[in-house]
Amino acid sequence: MAADATEQTSTAGTVIAGTVYAGTIGQLGRRSDGSRRVVFRTASSTFDTQWPKWAYQIAMAAFLYDKQLQVIADGQPDGDKLLSVNILLPLLRPHQGSQPAFRRPLTSSNSTACRACPARYRWKTAAS
């Protein structure tokens, strides 16, 4: 999905028409008047704007876990113009290496650690 592209998105029967942005959070914080400030960076632009509480909470999670956001807005991503804010999860390439894949459970067939201890070592107990 290209950043800053106009698109129609259908969500549960409701059509949302707006500008779609993909980017990261550069900074976020609160001002003395209680407003929530978010610096949202896309590939081509940086927006320093105020976001409502619901969007600010999603932005905070994306900032803390270093994730990208998809923002759909009626124009620029600012305050009441925000229609949808989503955290984008990274796409993982299919595993092709000789090492165990990320998140693959270790078994005796793909790990030497599972084979080493039982046969080679005998643990001494207090009785022995």
Per-residue pLDDT of 76-94, as tens digits, reads 998 889 999 999 887 666 6
Nearest by Cα to 56 from 34, 74, 33? 34
Q: Does residue 17 surpass a pLDDT of 80?
A: no
How many other C-beta atoms lie within 10 A of the C-beta of residue 38?
Answer: 28
CA 21 to chain CA mean position, Å = 15
Nearest to 22 by CA among 8, 7, 5: 5
For residue 83, is it left (φ>0), alpha (ψ between -120 and 50) or beta? alpha
Of residues 119 and 76, the one with the higher pLDDT is 76
Domains of the chain, start order: 5-88 (2.40.50.140)
Q: What is the mean pLDDT of residues 54-73?
A: 93
What's residue 117's pLDDT?
Answer: 47
Q: Which residue in 48, 44, 38, 46 sits closest to 2, CA to CA?
A: 44
**CA 86: distance to chain centroid?**
9
User: Tokens representing 1?
Assistant: 């999905």
**What was the pLDDT predicted at 83?**
92
* pLDDT score recorded for residue 109: 54
More confident residue, 59 or 4: 59
At 90 the pLDDT is 73
